[in-house]
Structure 1
């Protein structure tokens, strides 16, 4: 084989020892995967973030500066950083839509306390203690409640009292306000002084979210592996699904996965799951949780971004969603409902002792093929994540190993004698070596079989092109153990 050099001229005549130094990548390990998260948030006027600008986030409190106290963005940054402190994360934020409508809810005080005592109000996870006195009027109780709520600037609502009724208004305009939970005397030990009652009307009426297309356009050329959104309306979900499908294509090469939280009863979540059929969107749904949907999404994104960067093929079951408060047991979905929700594209969770939330199964919203046939090929988040990881590593490895290679057919004189030549057989050998590495990491299995079904061939009409078909079997996960326990009599 005749050798060629990158730095030494072929006709150099001056005597001396000239040696190029360059790496050989034949035995290189896995390419470092650049996991990057983007938090797409909604900001208040007090936030300094400029639409379309990406801000690196290192501390939880930065969400307040960029998005304002009591904002969706501040909540999302805090929830994400509670779950993940190491993955590189950025923030971009949009202001409320100009035509947006803020959600409202009410607390209505009725009666007169016969004795003094404590009353606990709740806005999301925050407990707001209120000291009532015997004989206090409904107007006085409502005024005190509104003052206590307004004193907490981190809350996502403001309060106004009138005639015994506290009207709570979301700080943000848009549908996000509908996800804010309100409660009275929610936990064990909370009391309501005798003689009075408080009626809660849930937050509702929020309408018109910001247009996510602004963000999608701004990050069109940016690499992000995990992106969390606060909006679950049909218009924005459709745009995310279409954009992420393009990002994942061979010519897009900017693989990303979207995380979204949704709140509602079983039928509401089934409706949400039906909006998209995307392998690149995971929606986690909860009924009755004190934690807002955007916090669920941010926490899930934090866990997934860290764990799936470490091992894209390993399920997320049993991992804790830090800072997320589970619904009461009566509001948790039963097993049969969870099973149906998974089939409808909604990820599920479990409530364990003390109200801790653990992941049950993270699925995508993909349910049917392009021919509308039921299909589970892309059901679990590990499938697109593992395929993305292998594609990224293989592309990096091949580029580093054959950066300036010539292309020749197998068994040609050029293949046998010329330097810096790649052939279909050599490419297949490289693919086999990488598959062995992937299998050792537990990402795929049966690589000896799939490599035999992989193909590399020179293009018939373009001498500069090598075509390939790369077969893999992504490893499964131990999710269901079915058995028959038989006893002898």
Structure 2
């Protein structure tokens, strides 16, 4: 066997014992996944984070200074950190569009209270309370509520009152403000007989920022998971196109996005079908007290954490911390949830205690490039597992064959290693057979982690060859079969008669 060295000259004459020290990567485990999370948030004028900046933050309170108190960006960071306390998080900001319009909604009081009572309300999920007295007129009640809303400077909306009507205005311009929930919190305190409070939902917001202004900052930057608050068609489709481009073979900047919407069943179906992207998950709830951008950030935090630990393991039953379930009457039915899955909307389940869990996190991919119904990329675990395998194999090849010569299997140097040891580097050469052996070893490692199944078959069906026209190029077709998930258990329970 002929040995090659990186540091010891082949013609060295001076006596001595010389030893290169270097690692042998033949049996290295799966390479760590360098997860990097990014939140694209909307900022208020008080936020210090200038558009175009990307900074890493560790604590939610940092986001208050960067995005502004009561901003969408600050709420997203808080929601993410409730779900994911350990992974690195970066943020970038977009200011309100110049021509944006702020959403508004109202509380309208009528009647009177028969006795002193504490009335409770929620604005964007944040509880607001006032004490109502029998002598209070509807104008006075509205004044009290507006003052209480404005006293909460972290609230996503401000308020003004006139003649018994409280008008709430989103702090941010754009469609995002339409997703701020307004409600009388009757679960905490019923409205007494004789008084009515009518709620008009937030609406009228238009002109979200352009997410491409943020995406343009990331042409070659590595971010594995990104959440954003803009659920309008233009921004969702722009992100999807960006994510698809990053997954391409020559880019290798795999990323997955998370976006959510406050939506009726019909609106949610339309939302899910805005894109056909394997690298974007869309979430929807009809009338959760929690704002849609917080839902997206919470899902982002949970998915990034657990899929980094195991990209092939489904996320079912995991709680989205801080996300409050809609009232039972506003929850999607089982049939609606099933049908929404078919339109690209992730299934969320609402528990009796008001918490929200992941039922089945999917992507928005539904159809092939030939417009044929296709479930190849349905579950988020598919792109996540493929990203991990591709990243690991690319890194392993760089470690094992950094300066290798490429030869055919028939070359005499290809037999310089033991026939039963395809991983031996020998003359610092690579051949199709040797690289195939390396691939076999990695597949067995992926199989041990239950990322893939039918390992022997995938190894056998994989193929490597030197390119017929370029002897510096090794072509391959590497097969894997991603492990399944226990999603449906179907059985026939029969009794004897």
**TM-score by structure 2 length?**
0.97
Aligned length: 488
Q: What are the equivalent positions in structure 2 for 1:40-59 lying under 5 Å apart?
A: 40-59=40-59
- Determine the structure 1 residue equivalent to 2:377: 378
- Determine the structure 2 residue equivalent to 1:106: 106
Q: Secondary structure of the equivalent of 2:155?
A: coil
Distance 1:202 1:285 in 2: 17
Distance 1:186 1:337 in 2: 26
Moved beyond 4 Å, runs of 4+: none
- Determine the structure 1 residue equivalent to 2:367: 368
Distance 2:185 2:42 in 1: 30
Unpaired runs of at least 5, structure 1: none
1:227 positional shift = 0.3
1:342 positional shift = 0.5
**TM-score by structure 1 length?**
0.98
Distance 2:124 2:68 in 1: 18
Correspondent of 1:465 among 450, 473, 485: 473
Unpaired runs of at least 5, structure 2: 417-425
CA offsets 1:138-184 (integer angstroms, 9 cap, x no match)? 11111111111100001000001111111110000001100000011
Distance 1:246 1:120 in 2: 48
Structure 1 residue 432 and structure 2 residue 432: aligned? no
Distance 2:115 2:429 in 1: 91
User: Is the Cα contact below 8 Å between 1:282 and 1:363 reproduced in 2?
Assistant: yes
Structure 1 residue 64 and structure 2 residue 72: aligned? no
User: Is the Cα contact below 8 Å between 1:118 and 1:192 reproduced in 2?
Assistant: no
Correspondent of 1:477 among 456, 463, 485: 485
Distance 2:163 2:330 in 1: 32
Distance 1:274 1:283 in 2: 9
For the aligned residue pairs, the C-alpha RMSD in angstroms reads: 1.0
1:86 positional shift = 0.7
- Determine the structure 2 residue equivalent to 1:319: 318
1:274 positional shift = 1.1
Distance 1:242 1:115 in 2: 58
User: Is the Cα contact below 8 Å between 1:269 and 1:285 reproduced in 2?
Assistant: yes
Structure 1 residue 452 and structure 2 residue 460: aligned? yes
User: Is the Cα contact below 8 Å between 1:409 and 1:415 reproduced in 2?
Assistant: yes
Distance 2:185 2:438 in 1: 64
Structure 1 residue 186 and structure 2 residue 194: aligned? no
Q: What are the equivalent positions in structure 2 for 1:122-137 lying under 5 Å apart?
A: 122-137=122-137
User: Is the Cα contact below 8 Å between 1:406 and 1:422 reproduced in 2?
Assistant: yes
- Determine the structure 2 residue equivalent to 1:142: 142
- Determine the structure 1 residue equivalent to 2:236: 237
Q: Which moved more, 1:24-33 or 1:328-337?
A: 328-337
1:113 positional shift = 2.4
Q: Secondary structure of the equivalent of 2:107?
A: strand
Q: What are the equivalent positions in structure 2 for 1:229-308 lying under 5 Å apart?
A: 229-308=228-307
1:193 positional shift = 3.3
User: Is the Cα contact below 8 Å between 1:118 and 1:193 reproduced in 2?
Assistant: no
1:332 positional shift = 1.1
Distance 2:112 2:86 in 1: 53
Q: What are the equivalent positions in structure 2 for 1:327-346 lying under 5 Å apart?
A: 327-346=326-345
- Determine the structure 1 residue equivalent to 2:451: 443
Distance 1:462 1:186 in 2: 73
Structure 1 residue 209 and structure 2 residue 208: aligned? yes
CA offsets 1:371-402 (integer angstroms, 9 cap, x no match)? 00000000000000000000000110111011
